[in-house]
Amino acid sequence: EAQVTQNPRYLITVTGKKLTVTCSQNMNHEYMSWYRQDPGLGLRQIYYSMNVEVTDKGDVPEGYKVSRKEKRNFPLILESPSPNQTSLYFCASSLFFRGVLGETQYFGPGTRLLVL
């Protein structure tokens, strides 16, 4: 079954304790992306990756890191989480179409993060 998986689904942590949220897709997609969703603000892109070893900042990259060492995996790293990073996080993947993102994005189930 074609899918995007995220782990963990729920996470409670404390300020400053490094954490990683994993994302994996089995559709051989080139493009992967992380979003955070907050009430009233919609989904905002944190980082995206166009292929292995190619990543770029989205609209809200501060406080986050990513890496793309394999095509299927795109982990999101919070080196020193703060309470303002409490949010619902989604990973997504997509094919490229005509050299740009012209196809649908498939979303993972989401990770709810609470930073105390």
Partner 1 sequence: QQPVQSPQAVILREGEDAVINCSSSKALYSVHWYRQKHGEAPVFLMILLKGGEQKGHEKISASFNEKKQQSSLYLTASQLSYSGTYFCGTVPDNYGQNFVFGPGTRLSVLP
> What string of H, E and C letters represents the secondary structure of 10-37?
EEEECCCCCEEEEEEECCCCCEEEEEEE
Asked whether 21 and 75 are in contact (CB, 8 A), the reply is yes
Residue 17 Cβ, how far from partner 1 at the closest point, in Å?
26
- Give contact residues for partner 1 (rule: CB under 8 A): 31, 33, 35, 40-45, 48, 50, 56, 58-59, 90, 99-110
The answer to whether the peptide bond before residue 8 is cis (omega within 30 degrees of 0) is yes
Q: Residue 82 or 99: which CB sits closer to partner 1?
A: 99
Q: Residue 18 or 57: which CB sits closer to partner 1?
A: 57
Asked whether 108 and 7 are in contact (CB, 8 A), the reply is no
Q: Strand 31-38 relative to strand 87-94: parallel, antiparallel, unpaired?
A: antiparallel
Q: Residue 4 or 82: which CB sits closer to partner 1?
A: 4
Residue 13 Cβ, how far from partner 1 at the closest point, in Å?
21
Residue 59 Cβ, how far from partner 1 at the closest point, in Å?
7
Residue 20 Cβ, how far from partner 1 at the closest point, in Å?
20
Q: Residue 14 or 41: which CB sits closer to partner 1?
A: 41
What DSSP character marks residue 85? G
